[in-house]
Structure 1
Amino acid sequence: MKFPARAVLLCSLMVPVVQAQAKTYTLAAFGDSGEVSSLQARVIASAVKAGPYDALLLMGDNIYPRGEMEKLESVFNRPFAPLLKSKPQVWMVLGNHDIMIDNGVAQLKAFGLQRWSRETLGALELFRLDSNALGKEQMAWLEGALKSSKAKFKVLTMHHPVYSSGLHGNRSDLALKLEPLMKKYGVRVVMTGHDHNYERLEVGGVHYIVSGNSSSIRRVGRQAGTKSVARAGGFLKLTVSDKVLKVEQIDTSGATFDTLELK
């Protein structure tokens, strides 16, 4: 049976249009995770439940106490194996403990990374820095990278906090170098470790997140810019869509302790 040409046209017009949904990306970030401990195991177990992830990030002091590469198997490969099953990208920055042997060269080589670089995850661009030595070369690279970035969400990550109410406190030298560039090029979030606690601060419109609490914890106070703080173990989960960046601090029970949402 043949349909009239007009009927065929009407049928074709009635076919629903299926729009492709924008992909959502996830990243799990761990600070000061390089000590085998019961806390490290609980943090990783919590991260597994909240996964899987497109990328993992280690925010320095990845191998305690001196960055010895022979310990990489025990402090990273074995404990993080459940998170590595889904084959996420793995990024890291160097902490002060990581550079005690050969300035961390072997660790960078093991992860296949440069000392500083930019990584893309959907609408997020992550700028990895070596805060052990923010010299002229690295700062010139950072300005060029930020200037050329078209990302909706620009995030810096390094080991040492610019602002912190933990044991090591604020770093005015880092603020002096980084704040002008962050303001000029629209950096919205800075993620760090070093102090073994969780703290989220807002200073000058930038959100500073300290999450060095993935294998041990210490005391922490508060200061004027503090929005949330905890002396507890945990990790950061970032969820990125075309329009929203959500950053959660998830504790060892799997509960979301704190949330930052940017549009």
Structure 2
Amino acid sequence: MHKYSTMTLFLCLSFCLLASLHSAAAELQTLHHQLGGESLSLLVVGDWGRRGAYNQSRVALQMGKIAEKLDIDFIISTGDNFYDDGLTDENDPAFEESFSNIYTARSLQKPWYTVLGNHDYRGNALAQLSPTLTHKDSRWFCQKSYILNAGFAEFFFVDTTPFQTKYFTHPKDHVYDWRGVLPRHKYISTLLKDLDVALRESTARWKIVVGHHTIKSAGHHGNTQELVSHLLPLLQANNVDFYVNGHDHCLEHIASSDSALQFFTSGGGSKAWKGDISWWDPVENKFYYDGQGFMSMQISPSEVDVVFYDVYGNVLHKWSTSDVLYNVM
């Protein structure tokens, strides 16, 4: 039995989806997720939408098994939801073929809180924000940027694609859907201002920021310099605990050497890049896996446990806030 009312959730999602189509000057919308217990459990997957190919279906199978075991509350998608060029419109069959028909396990019939990736912007970006998709599959929720309040944990979803200059100056053969983004400088400055205010006003025990692009990564794309310059200082100044992203098609955990901030990459939802890794200081790089898989987070008011799984459901890496506390003591 679901831990939420499907109709209530749908009405809430529809309201927020419509609100997301307002101008970039609007404040970040806040969505509330009511917990069914004293802790929170979720999965994180990114870079997945390939109609089941490149082991997407196998990852989905294992996600279903782990989700049942953990009795998850919801799933987070870190973007690049539909390859190669997003959705054409709200009626694009890729929505069913890459989402509804793939993540079919009963345990995965929970809300999917989603952000856009750069590949999603190559199509009709606004289609993924449309209430029409939520009509088709009530699990689906996507905005460009928003806040998810889950009591003692608060998630801040950030639209990172407009930060990257190369998408505007060197688009190659791709056409990006910048509706609602231009003028770019105003969009970014407004987003950063609203995020800063929201983070400062947050009273949650755990602050978790979710975006598509990497801030720190030893993978193919490496660090996103625009986010290092503009987003990272804001996260550090507001004592954010975790930054969760996709974009690099790998699984990765980097611990910051100058703050408590942890960087988690979960971009192994389908196609992975074997052997595509750069050297990184082993003091910071706690884990790197160049294959498919996903991540789980179990969160209580006092502790967070993170686990990475491969395409067979094997546990690859575990980390807990209690490890940090133990090492400090």
TM-score by length of 2: 0.69
- Say whether 1:90 aligns with 2:112: yes
Match of 1:213 in 2: 268
Q: Residues 86 and 235 of structure 1: is their aligned pair in 2 closer, same or farther, counting only changes over 3 Å?
A: closer
Do the aligned residues in 2 keep the contact of 1:222 with 1:229 (CA within 8 Å)?
A: no
Match of 2:57 in 1: 41
- Say whether 1:75 aligns with 2:98: yes
- Say whether 1:256 aligns with 2:312: no
Listed as ranges, the gaps of 5+ residues in structure 1 are: 1-20
Report the Cα offset of residue 166 of structure 1.
1.1
Report the Cα offset of residue 64 of structure 1.
0.4
Do the aligned residues in 2 keep the contact of 1:122 with 1:240 (CA within 8 Å)?
A: no
- Say whether 1:99 aligns with 2:128: no
Report the Cα offset of residue 230 of structure 1.
1.0
Deviations 1:113-144, CA, capped at 9 Å, x for gaps = 43111112342111101101240111111111
Q: Residues 86 and 173 of structure 1: is their aligned pair in 2 closer, same or farther, counting only changes over 3 Å?
A: closer
**Aligned counterparts of 1:91 and 1:128: Cα–Cα separation in 2:** 9
Match of 2:162 in 1: 133
Match of 1:182 in 2: 235
Residue identity over aligned pairs, in percent, reads: 26
**Aligned counterparts of 1:118 and 1:153: Cα–Cα separation in 2:** 13
- Structure 1 runs (4+) deviating above 3 angstroms are none
* AA aligned opposite 1:228: F
Q: Residues 200 and 54 of structure 1: is their aligned pair in 2 closer, same or farther, counting only changes over 3 Å?
A: same
* AA aligned opposite 2:293: G
Report the Cα offset of residue 260 of structure 1.
2.0
Listed as ranges, the gaps of 5+ residues in structure 2 are: 1-35, 134-139, 164-187, 323-329
Report the Cα offset of residue 169 of structure 1.
1.1
Report the Cα offset of residue 197 of structure 1.
1.0
**Aligned counterparts of 2:265 and 2:150: Cα–Cα separation in 1:** 21
The count of corresponding residues between Structure 1 and Structure 2 is 241
**Aligned counterparts of 1:54 and 1:215: Cα–Cα separation in 2:** 23
Larger Rg: 1
- Secondary structure in 1 matching 2:79: coil
- Secondary structure in 2 matching 1:246: strand
* AA aligned opposite 2:297: L
- Secondary structure in 2 matching 1:51: helix
Which of the residues 40, 44, 55 maps onto 2:74? 55
- Secondary structure in 2 matching 1:215: coil
**Aligned counterparts of 2:156 and 2:74: Cα–Cα separation in 1:** 14
Taking only aligned residues, the RMSD between alpha carbons, in angstroms, comes to 1.8
Match of 1:3 in 2: none
Report the Cα offset of residue 39 of structure 1.
1.3
- Secondary structure in 2 matching 1:228: strand
* AA aligned opposite 2:81: N
**Aligned counterparts of 1:234 and 1:222: Cα–Cα separation in 2:** 22
Report the Cα offset of residue 151 of structure 1.
0.9
**Aligned counterparts of 1:22 and 1:94: Cα–Cα separation in 2:** 30
**Aligned counterparts of 1:113 and 1:93: Cα–Cα separation in 2:** 6
